Amino acid sequence: MRRFAFGLSVLLAILADSARAQPEEAVVVTAPRFPEDTRRLPASVTVLSAEDIAQSSARTLPELLGEQAGINVRDFYGNNAAATAVDLRGYGVTGPQNTLILLDGRRLNDIDLSGVQWSAIPLSSIERIEILRGSGAVLYGDGASAGVINIVTRSPLAHGKRLEAFARAASYNTQEGQLYGSAAGDAFGVNATVYGYASDGYRANNRNEQRNDTLNLRWALGEGALDLKFGADRQDLGLPGGRLVQPSIGLDQYATDPRGAQTPLDYASRDGMRAAANFMQRFGDTEFTLGVDWRNKDQRSYFDQMGFPTYRADALDVTSLTPRLRVPFGLAGTAHRLVIGADWYAWHYRSRRTNIPENVGQPINRVSVDQDTQAFYLQDTIDVTRATLATLGWRDERVAYAGDDVLDPAAPGFSFNTAAPSARATQRQNAWEIGLRHQLASAWVVFARASRSYRFVNAEEIYENDAFFNAQFQILRPQHARTYEAGAEWRTGPWRLRGTLFQSDVADEIHLDPFTTGVGNTNLPPSRRQGLELDGGWQATRALRLSAAYAYTNARFLQGVLPGSAFAIGTDIDIAGKRVPLVPEHKLDLALVWDLAARTRLSGALSAVSSQYMDNDEPNTLGKKIPAYAVLDLKLARSFGWGRIALTVNDLFDRGYYSYAVRSAFIADRYAVYPLPGRSFGVSAELALE
């Protein structure tokens, strides 16, 4: 921690400035489970408004998030964020399981490994995005070790009567459109969206077709409100696989045919539905909220596997009940705001597994996993003095697993399949958080936090094969982490700057062991993530705004040996001191918004990412890394009385790059890369009527 203290002192010295300060504007977020001013949060918080989103040249939500400090995005195909992962603070391939994504305060992370359906959340439907780095485990529990990203959609009461239409055409035969309508009175509002997307994609066998529909209703009930939210989505996606490279035999598909498909017959499709009700009531200064949510998704996937096909039909549904209460009170001359809450989640995962789609009615294996969680939490925000604020929080969570596997030897396609013995287990974890925020002067504040977080193993991480290829359930130990961070914020006149130093020590990390036969996912040896995050902005003139974000991340295994096997690249593989794969050490983002004329705006974003080790290269011995790359996106928009027209160019440099690659566990110098699109163009038009 001495390095942290030294770094913080340097940072504070940089922030000290004699310029005349101006009061910081209040920004309210809802990720802390109740509306809260960001000036009362001892954490590194970024809020992206609807105006920020409209100005950005990003085409998808992950692209927008990737412009922020400390967030790394891995995109497999570059086709409307299909199969895209968001990683906060350097967890690598398990970033999606350690970064909690919320939609209007409701959990989107599921207990399978399918990831968040980013394309089901078009940018035009978002009111704001709240990013809380390193915070959220007390309030949300499982999977919030790196932080929380809350996506807030447009309120039905915010816009009155309004009709909007959006259309975009772009490279690779891309077509996108959305209709939005709202109507609102004094006490009732409703809005709805219909969204469609279709694109051939950059790669062969990568066509993506997406459809989303939403309906939101809100009643204002005196000192309370009732919200009802409904949504449905469908996606059909081709899966081209990677491009193989093996220097020892002269194989380099990435160089000879980057747009080709390794798996021309593979595909995935998904249907999802969701419904949510949220009731809020104030009793003086006390506020009570009750949330009831239900989500369901049906996924189908086919993998040809060189003539040895696998077909899966997976169904997942979750029901949750989340009551919470915020009670302000005074004690010993200090003001408190106590949040008390409970979370109940019931997950049901069902997977039918066979060889071809026609046989799914009589599958070879029927795998089911039920996961029920119950949690209770407390978090108190204390005004210690007029300038000093403290938070104290505690959470206790219990999870119960029930896994079953039914084998049908008479099913078509049966060969040497086995059934896993049934498994039952109960686990318990707790999270805590201590935070301080102090206003040093009107221009700047300092903050510090210490916390404990955890993650439970999910349904698709526990169903594996042993060394003899027999199916089994492996219910791993919970992962847990301790995080320490300190930072400072400075605002004066047209300037703003924030710096944060952090360190997370992770134990029992849940991760794939690709080298050890019969293990699959396992609890890895201890690891550490530490780094520096800087972000700032400058309103240079009334017409020109500049911003920048930089992150240094050092993610390493502290000790440990992977057993390996005779079938893999070696045995007793030492990973002590090795870097965690898929974590770039440096990442720089620069952005500008320039009003060239009264109604003409140029936006630009440059993202530069340093090299990183490939997935599965825990020993760091492949000798080849994902190369460093830089991507520049530009957007020129012209506003009219009826709406806006915009022209975009993405990846202006067009130098060819990829953000994901995976090492072979069996052939020493073989790996697969997933090329992303080069330079592409788009034109969009927006119509708004009130």
What number is the average pLDDT over the span 402-413? 95
Q: Compute the Cα dihedral for 355, 359, 360, 364 and give only its sign.
A: negative
Q: Has residue 298 got a pLDDT over 80?
A: yes
Task: Express each pLDDT in 348-375 by its tens digit.
Answer: 999 999 999 999 999 999 999 999 999 9
Q: In whole angstroms, what is the distance from residue 572 CA to residue 613 CA?
A: 20
Give the per-residue pLDDT at 3: 46
Q: Which residue has the higher pLDDT, 119 or 628?
A: 628
Helix (H, G, I), strand (E, B) or coil at 591: strand
Rg (CA), the chain: 25
Residues 6+ apart with CB under 8 A from 584: 72, 553, 609, 610, 611, 612, 628
Under a CB-based contact definition with an 8 Å cutoff, are residues 617 and 663 in contact?
Answer: yes
Report the SS3 class of residue 123.
helix
Read off the pLDDT of each residue in 624-636 and give the average, rounded to a whole number. 97
Q: What percent of the chain has a predicted confidence (pLDDT) above 70?
A: 96
Every domain of the chain and the residues it spans: 2-689
Q: Tell me the CA end-to-end span of the chain in Å, nearest whole number.
A: 56
Q: What is the mean pLDDT of residues 582-592?
A: 97
Tokens of 540: 């240079």
Rounded to whole angstroms, the Cα distance separating 504 from 458 reads: 22
The least confident of 40-49, 196-205, 327-336 is: 40-49
**Which run of H or E residues covers position 561?**
strand 561-564
The confidence score (pLDDT) of residue 11 equals 42
- Distance (Å, whole) CA 59 – CA 397: 38
CA distances from 629 to 491, 612, 634 (A): 32, 11, 17
- CA 658, CA 679: separation in Å to the nearest integer? 13
> Six-digit token pair at 410?
């008479």
Work out the angle at residue 529's Cα, subtended by the Cα atoms of residues 390 and 70, and round it to the nearest 5 degrees.
Answer: 75
Q: How confident is the model at residue 26 (pLDDT cuts 50, 70, 90)?
A: low
Q: Which of 52, 633, 42, 143 is nearest to 371 (CA)?
A: 143
- Least trusted range by pLDDT, from 11-15, 290-294, 340-344: 11-15
Q: What is the mean pLDDT of residues 160-180?
A: 94
Interval 631-644: pLDDT, tens: 999 999 999 999 99
Kind plus residue range of the DSSP H or E element containing 462 = helix 459-462
- Nearest CA-CA partner of 550 in 518, 580, 585: 585
By mean pLDDT, which of 30-39, 319-328, 479-488 is the weakest? 30-39
CA dihedral 62, 67, 73, 78 (to 10 degrees): 60
Measured in whole angstroms, how far is the alpha carbon of residue 46 from the centre of its chain?
15
Over residues 418-423, mean pLDDT: 94
Q: What is the pLDDT of residue 333?
A: 87
The model's pTM is 0.93
Q: Which residues pair with 393 in a beta bridge?
A: 379, 433
Rounded-to-integer distance, Cα 176 and Cα 8, Å: 46
Per-residue pLDDT of 653-663, as tens digits, reads 998 999 999 99
Model pLDDT, residue 25: 57
For range 169-177, the mean pLDDT: 96
Tell me the average pLDDT of the chain: 91
Of 35-49, 199-213, 611-625, minimum mean pLDDT range:
35-49
Tell me the C-alpha to C-alpha distance, in Å, between residue 79 and each of 200, 341, 520: 8, 39, 29
CATH number 2.40.170.20 is the correct assignment for the domain at 2-689: yes
C-alpha closest to that of 180 among 155, 210, 151: 155
Instruction: Read off the pLDDT band of 7 (50, 70, 90).
Output: very low
Query: Quick check: 37 pLDDT over 80?
Result: no
Question: What per-residue confidence (pLDDT) applies to 17?
Answer: 41
Q: Which residues of 281-295 are buried (b: 16+ CB within 10 A; e: fewer)?
A: eeeeeebbbebebeb
Judge contact between 679 and 651, C-beta under 8 A. Answer: yes
Nearest to 680 by CA among 645, 644, 656: 656
Per-residue pLDDT at 135 exceeds 90: no
State the average pLDDT over residues 514-531.
Answer: 88
Residues 6+ apart with CB under 8 A from 431: 137, 138, 141, 377, 393, 394, 395, 397, 451, 452, 453, 454
Q: Quick check: 567 pLDDT over 70?
A: yes
pLDDT of residue 6: 44
Q: Please count the other Cβ atoms lying within 10 Å of the Cβ belonging to residue 132.
A: 26
Task: Please say if the pLDDT value at position 23 is more than 70.
Answer: no
Instruction: Determine the average pLDDT of the residues in 548-559.
Output: 97
